[in-house]
Structure 1
């Protein structure tokens, strides 16, 4: 395609930017968050109090930097966050950068991987469960900082997506181009979205089954020593309660491929028959996908570090968690498919309107209709 042919797409993308200010706002929010956090680490590197990671962690046994002190860790983290902030600036500025797009997107991916793989861990997910159980004592300064770091790189990721759309001529609001990708069609998304959703339901049930077995008196996958210790502290009942919450939450994933995930059921007063807002399904599912992925990565890391006592005898306590990244990836895919199926015409570029729907094969609509029935 020539530069002349690309010109209308570029003009459309620029018009979308002006009409849709949210992408730019998100980009500069990422810059602000990463810069602020980088400067906080500069403060800690210079001797300021309150450093939350490494040996100073409230629970250093969970940290990837358990034996690393503030004097060594804080400077490295300050450098990482400030460099990420610089990349975020390049992503947020209008127009195309001289730095190749793959380099900017790769740097974004590296920042996300560092935070999700080394800084964040299962405590974010665990504290969410505690909040639902009205137990707030476990929330500490380290967890607060983990959440802030995840939010910062999450904003950076959203800014990177916007940048990639803008520099390829796609609409910055919806990501559509004039050429329709088959895998994003309603029919295709319905097909691979179902597989992803069922996977996202099955994985947490594997974990829950061990906790339910313990609560019922069966020491599945744990040694006699651990079994007795858990009974004394009544951990198995508490663990079963958490597992049940997770299982019930996973069943909500079915809403991503069922009619009740698109239209409120009749038994919900005041909402019955109304369409479910996209954000009501997409935002919680996306957050859970991130949290279970970080939790699973932590368990995998601890296995490699040899942090667990007698892992062969106590596999039930730690192995099911190592497949949580599969849960997170499947849930993210199911959420994306849900978005592709339900998104309507873009208010900013006009793509995806009635003409686009009519252009899709008839079986696309049939598949979508039968799935909602």
Structure 2
């Protein structure tokens, strides 16, 4: 059975998908994909004609409204939820999803460091003061790099929107599958999950290392992934590359938290939540969302490698391997932290 909140999210998302199909129909210029798209080599939607995309959006949107609004639950609803989750959540979005998320993290990391330093230097600083310092640092950092940023247009709205709707249907799919009677497999036992989860967590944590090294190379005369001329003309990009490298290392630190004590209890040095137990969902939900984003980036990287014939990028950014590994590590953490999970 789908709970009310998940049903409403799937219903609202399906209405938005329907609206997108209508928009592309009546205003062809608003279609964000196709051969003229700046991400054409990185998006599977490049190979989907506008007419087919409109038909797909209207079909999934209208069918989604019917399924989400209906009360009957059966194999048909489960199958549709699976199709909608895969198509809207994994196939329509592309690497722009991860790029913008990584940039947001790169903006947040320096501001968070300023907040931590401020709290250490002034332990009696109230929470409002911590947020004020963080906000001021974020604005200053944003104003510094904004001059080197390129406009992104409305394309991210469709990419993030599709991903969000796919996530809603993925949540509905989990709810529907859990209503089916199954015996608990042995590999899901907490002790067993702890063993394979540790191995996969270490493997996932090492995956960002090549990306981190490429961004650190922007500080050297031999940059990887960007020309020395561009970096010389836009010095802010070098600092931004450092921030991206720190964000990558932050991802490694968070990933290892799945098997470290900090994954069960927030470190004492963290403001507000320090010393408190980590809710299972606080680690599982972001972990699975990031894993999905990286998996999506994986098919973009593979697509570009096939088009250009340059497979070195796959080695520097092993997203096709990283995404599934992170998803498996997160599931292992969930199984280990939820030994009393009910299997029906």
Q: Deviations over 1:117-137 (max 9, x none)?
A: 553122222212333423676
Distance in 2 between residues matched to 1:238 and 1:112, nearest whole Å: 33
By how many angstroms is 1:154 displaced?
1.2
By how many angstroms is 1:43 displaced?
3.0
2:265 alignment counterpart? 263
1:342 aligns to 2:337 (yes or no): yes
Distance in 2 between residues matched to 1:204 and 1:36, nearest whole Å: 34
1:232 alignment counterpart? 232
39, 57, 68: which is aligned to 2:19? 39
1:299 and 1:214, CA in 2 relative to 1: closer, same or farther beyond 3 A? Answer: same
- Residues 322-341 of structure 1 mapped to structure 2, 5 A cutoff: 323-341=318-336
**Which ranges of structure 2 fall in alignment gaps of 5 or more residues?**
108-141
Q: Deviations over 1:210-258 (max 9, x none)?
A: 33244234456x7xxx654354344555334312211222221111111
CA contact (8 A) 2:210 2:317 kept: no
Distance in 1 between residues matched to 2:274 and 2:166, nearest whole Å: 37
**Which ranges of structure 1 fall in alignment gaps of 5 or more residues?**
1-16, 170-176, 353-373
Q: TM-score, normalised by structure 1?
A: 0.69
1:66 and 1:265, CA in 2 relative to 1: closer, same or farther beyond 3 A? Answer: closer
1:230 and 1:302, CA in 2 relative to 1: closer, same or farther beyond 3 A? Answer: same
82, 85, 88: which is aligned to 2:58? 82
By how many angstroms is 1:95 displaced?
4.3
Which gives a bigger RCO, structure 1 or 2 (Cα 8 Å, sep 6+)?
2
Distance in 2 between residues matched to 1:48 and 1:139, nearest whole Å: 19
Q: Deviations over 1:169-212 (max 9, x none)?
A: 3xxxxxxx6x4321211101111111121111111112222332
Distance in 2 between residues matched to 1:196 and 1:285, nearest whole Å: 13
1:319 alignment counterpart? 314
Q: TM-score, normalised by structure 2?
A: 0.74
- Residues 169-318 of structure 1 mapped to structure 2, 5 A cutoff: 169=181, 179-218=183-222, 227-233=227-233, 234=235, 235=237, 237-268=239-270, 270-306=272-308, 311=310, 315=312, 318=313
1:231 and 1:151, CA in 2 relative to 1: closer, same or farther beyond 3 A? Answer: closer
Q: Deviations over 1:88-136 (max 9, x none)?
A: 7447744443xxx3x6655544444434555312222221233342367
CA contact (8 A) 1:38 1:80 kept: no
86, 91, 94: which is aligned to 1:121? 94
Distance in 1 between residues matched to 2:318 and 2:192, nearest whole Å: 26
**RMSD of aligned alpha carbons:** 3.2
75-84 vs 120-129, greater mean Cα deviation: 75-84
